[in-house]
Copies of this chain bind each other. A is one copy, B any other.
């Protein structure tokens, strides 16, 4: 039996000075720049309550990833043994959802300026959630 399928409609897109995958750091804390999260007009109401200084978790759709990859050499290092993608942060994986922790710098209508974000310009945004402080469940 085939599992059911679900459809993601992006709530917005990343606007960043990073335009090439090869220029993007592997993780946000490895020198990633600030970026804008630009929501669609149909979802912008969902931002109400978000303020500068908030810590957010941004889920993206890594649209350039390869979805038929199940094992990789971690961080592309051939000296490291092949490892299941679910034990790594490889962007290549069956459902390539990116997970990014960012701080909010500015809120302008339907856009958030955040940092740091290693996703490239044009990356679709799947969801935005608050970090739950003092709780393990949000990490």
Question: Which residues of the partner chain B approach A83 to less than 8 Å between Cβ atoms?
Answer: 48-49
Question: Which residues of the partner chain B approach A21 to less than 8 Å between Cβ atoms?
Answer: none
Query: Contact size class for A?
Result: 35 or more
By CB atoms of chain B within 10 A, which of A10, A13, A82, A85 has the most? A85
A137 touches B100 (CB 8 A): yes
Question: Which residues of the partner chain B approach A50 to less than 8 Å between Cβ atoms?
Answer: 84, 86-87
A71 touches B99 (CB 8 A): no
Which chain A residues (90-139) contact chain B, with CB distance < 8 Å?
93-95, 97, 99-101, 116, 118, 124, 126-132, 135-139
B137 touches A86 (CB 8 A): no
Give the complex CA separation of A99 and B29 in angstroms.
Answer: 20
Give the complex CA separation of A11 and B95 in angstroms.
Answer: 8
